[in-house]
Structure 1
């Protein structure tokens, strides 16, 4: 059973989400909150598996609430809700540690599938969508451009092997494991192992967070040409 906490300042939306979620035998709504401050209290008291988080709320907004939930309760996954598919607030929530975002007008089946996905530790943001968001909001990123020596100058990347750096670049390009295997001429099993090692060494929870680190470190640059295959061994 996957437990869910609903966080939205609109009672009717919470009711609608509850009706959809509770029709599923493996999902259970354990609580509701109308703002981020109450959400933090509810997470501490109820320990839900997934928090369905609105972003724009009075008082403590969804971004700050997400940041604190991820820091204080790393086992809890946050799925943020947004009105637009490219939204600077949704991007900020991803940087704060959310496992993905979902449009408020998503179909009921998309909602329950997204909850199940983040509950297993995966993200629900397609890598190419994330890349589009990162490109759009490049001016807000600390890194100004691709730095060939990023793996030497940024402490977050120093533990990665040359091949793991190649894999991280491919992940940041929005490639699936199968596509990475084709590009780097590796087996799918080897790629999966490398991806797991990259996530562990970076100390991130999923591919979304790994992509953000790659941009912040300057390993890849927003809008660059991604057609050439990276080298490495």
Structure 2
């Protein structure tokens, strides 16, 4: 029986994104199995030989920490990679203790995730640099400030308000581009664009594209 990569993600867009990234790495569509909850994941694990598991930490039926521990109990060498958002930070250490080999943030671009998946396929155990800093902070007895602990993937602009990636996206928004068009121009996924725009809204404290552009111009970030 051929080995398969198991994707365990509740969000259809996240499943589709990881499926697409794996296809770019040379996996065939019949070598990838996508499921949306822990029960389905266990069923697949019982019927297939697994090459690798890419799991979120928030599922509708239970959390994936339990799934990670279960998978590790039946296969000591299986690569298990958490691909999740930073809003589950309290579960990071639990996932690693349960047996996860690595931890990546969904906020990373497709190319970054593809590179790290290659590392896993070659026997590596990558942990997102932001996660590493957080864990080291906990190990040193310090608790990172939650307001300052959200990962900023790109280098910050002077003033620390928007990252270079966020500014690039907002510039395209100001030009009237849709999220799909921005994704094509910047060679990133539409999911990544959507995520960055939500971050922009939060940083600028706005609720629409028009408000975001107007506020950015008032602050001197756009001209």
TM bucket (normalised to shorter chain) is 0.5 to 0.7
Where do residues 140-219 of structure 1 align in structure 2 (5 Å cutoff)?
none
Q: Is the 8 A contact 1:3 1:27 kept in 2?
A: no
Distance in 1 of aligned mates of 2:120 and 2:3: 10
TM-score of the pair, normalised by structure 2: 0.54
Aligned residues: 139
Distance in 2 of aligned mates of 1:138 and 1:58: 34
Where do residues 43-54 of structure 1 align in structure 2 (5 Å cutoff)?
43-54=45-56
Q: Is the 8 A contact 1:2 1:49 kept in 2?
A: yes
Where do residues 60-71 of structure 1 align in structure 2 (5 Å cutoff)?
60-71=62-73
- Superposition deviation, residue 57 in structure 1: 0.8
Q: Partner residue of 2:25?
A: 24
Q: Partner residue of 1:40?
A: 42
Where do residues 70-81 of structure 1 align in structure 2 (5 Å cutoff)?
70-81=72-83
The higher relative CO (CA closer than 8 Å, separation ≥ 6) is in: 1
Q: Is the 8 A contact 1:86 1:133 kept in 2?
A: no
Give the match's secondary structure for 2:50. coil
- Superposition deviation, residue 137 in structure 1: 6.9
Give the match's secondary structure for 1:22. helix
Gaps spanning 5+ residues in structure 2: where?
Answer: 142-223
Q: Partner residue of 2:14?
A: 13
Q: Is the 8 A contact 2:119 2:125 kept in 1?
A: yes
Structure with the largest fraction of helix: 2
TM-score of the pair, normalised by structure 1: 0.52
RMSD over aligned Cα atoms: 2.8
Q: Is the 8 A contact 1:6 1:33 kept in 2?
A: yes
Distance in 2 of aligned mates of 1:115 and 1:27: 15
Gaps spanning 5+ residues in structure 1: where?
Answer: 140-233
Matching of residue 59 in structure 1 with residue 61 in structure 2: yes
CA deviations on 1:141-174 (whole Å, 9 max, x unpaired) are: xxxxxxxxxxxxxxxxxxxxxxxxxxxxxxxxxx
